[in-house]
Amino acid sequence: MTALLSIEGVTRRFGGLTAIDDVTASLRHHELVGLIGPNGAGKTTLFNLISGFTPLSAGAIYFKGRRIDRLKPFDIAHLGVGRTFQNLRIFPNMSVFDNVSVGAIGAQGVGVVSTLLRRRGPAEAISEQTWAALRAVGLEAQATELAANLSYGRRKYLEIARALALDPELLILDEPAAGLNDTETQGLADFIRRLHKGGLSILLVEHDMKLVMSICQRVVVLASGRKIADAPPAVVKADPAVLEAYLGVET
Amino acid sequence: MSASERPGKGLSRLLTLAILIAVFALAPAALYLAGRSYLYQVANLIMIFALLSASMHLVTGVAGLLQLGHAAFYGVGAYTAALLATRFGLPFPATMPLAGLAAALVAFLVALPTMRLVSIYFAVATLGIGQMLYLIMLNWVDVTKGPNGILLFNALRIFNFDASKPAIAYYVVAVVTVVSILVIHRLSHSYYGNALRALREDDQCAEAMGVETVRLKIQSFTISGFFAGVAGALWAHTAGYVSPADFSFTVSILILSMVVLGGLGSLPGAIVGAVILIGLPELLREFKAGDYRNLIIGLVLFSVILFLPRGLIGEASALDLMRRQFAGAWRRAPDRRGGMGWR
């Protein structure tokens, strides 16, 4: 089976610093892959390269066989890549429903003319997709509440719902467990597993090793911008290079 | 709730009905009983500024773009209408849409290069362009007659019907204003409005959700310019006289103060803001408040931002918006290619 997402020889330099150094990796259809690495390893940079926020210095990124590294973030979203942000970026002054609707709006598009003519079709499609995403994360009861009034944990799900409303093929989650306690992290792990079973391909960037090791099928490890491991969790756990990167052990 | 409706956002029909009765029956009746034509002028001015405030609401209150040159687009509309009426003898029903289109065209041309500017840089660009347009009105004497302004005789003519009697002119202004505000309402209270709100809240994040941010910003800026132009035509035809002073920077700040006083993101707020900031100085006219008008407006804007950042009924904090405008200012573009201030 061909790769859904493939990253080929990707390099990103910021001035003299090479944040991502010749990384090649891929994610197949319906795969749940974890991306881990110590602080400053370049996880979020790689993430921003995939979603089009930061241009590459070298290399190429393909999604469904299409080269996407020159595309704008909204084009990449239209192709079916939904993302969340490391430091929660919800729309605080909008209701929960309106927050999530933005994902559906992004996918469906909105026009001045169809809005003025009050065309039913586009509005209904957006509404259906929004409700479906709200139901998927269990936020439908809070639909009219202001997003700023949600608890921290609920906001995480709000962000995921907004990305789901895009109806993506690939969901990339940037440190979803950051700031959650053990029980909440467990709940999140079950939720991500359910999404994956529902047919979604997921790339999970995470600090929390336990979460990644417990749910991912394969783990890619970055250290200082380089890929140092790419294997199933059990193998990665025993890899001396990974241990060294995390613990700084001399070998 | 039908499937296509956004929950909790429908303007209640009762409120709409109440506003329509007030505008089309109660206010004219009161004006008729008062019997002073000066009061009709005040009423027209309130409605024109309600439209200006509503049009700025779309771009500043909803889409979060700090627009500091709105009065210039108002001026482009007013001069377009005045020139078409005096030079080509066009009646109001023809000059009004053309004034809107002229202002929209200028707004579109302004938006193309400036929309990729980050936050406060965009605001400064609108300020500069507003001043440029103002200076053109002031100095292009051959066309605009400079500071002397343009006088419109038989100003409010609807084909062969003379509508310039105060009571009739009131209804013309009321109909145009109400219809325009209903259009703005439909745009801001829809999924289209939601997309614009997402720009105000976090435009980079909206882009990651598939929203075409630059296109939407240019669109909303252009639409806002269109209605400012329509307001300009209303002013030219009801006042019968246009001169550059009516479209200066202080007027832009006056309109911004209405939007901020009412509260960012609230269309009723923008209208209430216009009613207060035009109506109150008129009420206080006997106390010579007119002399201190700009001072008062400045104080109102300043204190509302500090002490009532959500305005009277707003949905977003003006203080937060201002803060983010400045916070974004010294952030380099993520690719560090474009210099500071560019996205």
A76 plus A177 within the same structural domain: yes
Say how far apart CA A33 and CA A61 lie, in whole Å.
Answer: 17
Q: Which residues contact A246 (CB under 8 A, 6 or more apart)?
A: A38
Instruction: With respect to residue A31, please indicate whether it lies within any of the assigned structural domains.
Output: yes
CA-based R_g, chain B, Å: 20
| Nearest CA-CA distance, residue A190 and chain B, Å | 24
Q: Which residue has the higher pLDDT, A186 or B15?
A: A186
Residue ending a domain, among A112, A140, A163, is A163
Total structural domains within chain A: 2
Domain at A230, CATH number: 3.40.50.300
The pair of three-digit structure tokens given for residue B251, joined into one six-digit string: 């007027």
The pair of three-digit structure tokens given for residue B140, joined into one six-digit string: 């292009």
Across the range B308-319, mean pLDDT stands at 90
A122 plus A235 within the same structural domain: no
Q: Are A203 and A33 in contact (CB under 8 A)?
A: yes
Instruction: With respect to residue A87, please indicate whether it lies within any of the assigned structural domains.
Output: no
The pair of three-digit structure tokens given for residue A200, joined into one six-digit string: 């979604």
Instruction: With respect to residue A189, please indicate whether it lies within any of the assigned structural domains.
Output: yes
- pLDDT tens track for B251-267: 999 999 999 999 999 99
Q: CB-based contact (8 Å) between A72 and chain B?
A: yes
Instruction: With respect to residue A156, please indicate whether it lies within any of the assigned structural domains.
Output: yes
- pLDDT tens track for A153-197: 999 999 999 999 999 999 999 999 988 899 999 999 999 999 999
Instruction: With respect to residue A86, please indicate whether it lies within any of the assigned structural domains.
Output: no
- pLDDT tens track for A32-43: 999 998 888 888
A116 plus A224 within the same structural domain: no
Q: Token match 């409303």: residue?
A: A165
A60 plus A3 within the same structural domain: yes
Residue ending a domain, among A147, A163, A179, is A163
| Nearest CA-CA distance, residue B41 and chain A, Å | 31
A158 plus A194 within the same structural domain: no
Residue ending a domain, among A125, A144, A163, is A163
CB contact under 8 A, B195 and A105: yes
**Residue A226 domain boundaries:** 1-80+169-251
The Cα-based distances of A246 to A232, A243, B101, B277 in angstroms read 17, 5, 62, 62
Q: CB-based contact (8 Å) between A89 and chain B?
A: yes
Q: What is residue B8's predicted lDDT score, i.e. its pLDDT?
A: 47
A13 plus A75 within the same structural domain: yes
**Dihedral sign, Cα of residue A172, residue B197, residue B10, residue A77:** negative
Q: CB-based contact (8 Å) between B88 and chain A?
A: no
A69 plus A102 within the same structural domain: no
A74 plus A183 within the same structural domain: yes
Instruction: With respect to residue A85, please indicate whether it lies within any of the assigned structural domains.
Output: no
Instruction: With respect to residue A130, please indicate whether it lies within any of the assigned structural domains.
Output: yes
- pLDDT tens track for A192-225: 999 999 999 999 998 778 889 999 999 999 988 8
The pair of three-digit structure tokens given for residue B13, joined into one six-digit string: 């029909």
Residues of B with Cβ-Cβ distance to A145 under 8 angstroms: none
A44 plus A115 within the same structural domain: no
A5 plus A73 within the same structural domain: yes
Is residue B323 over pLDDT 70? Answer: yes
Q: Are B247 and B239 in contact (CB under 8 A)?
A: no
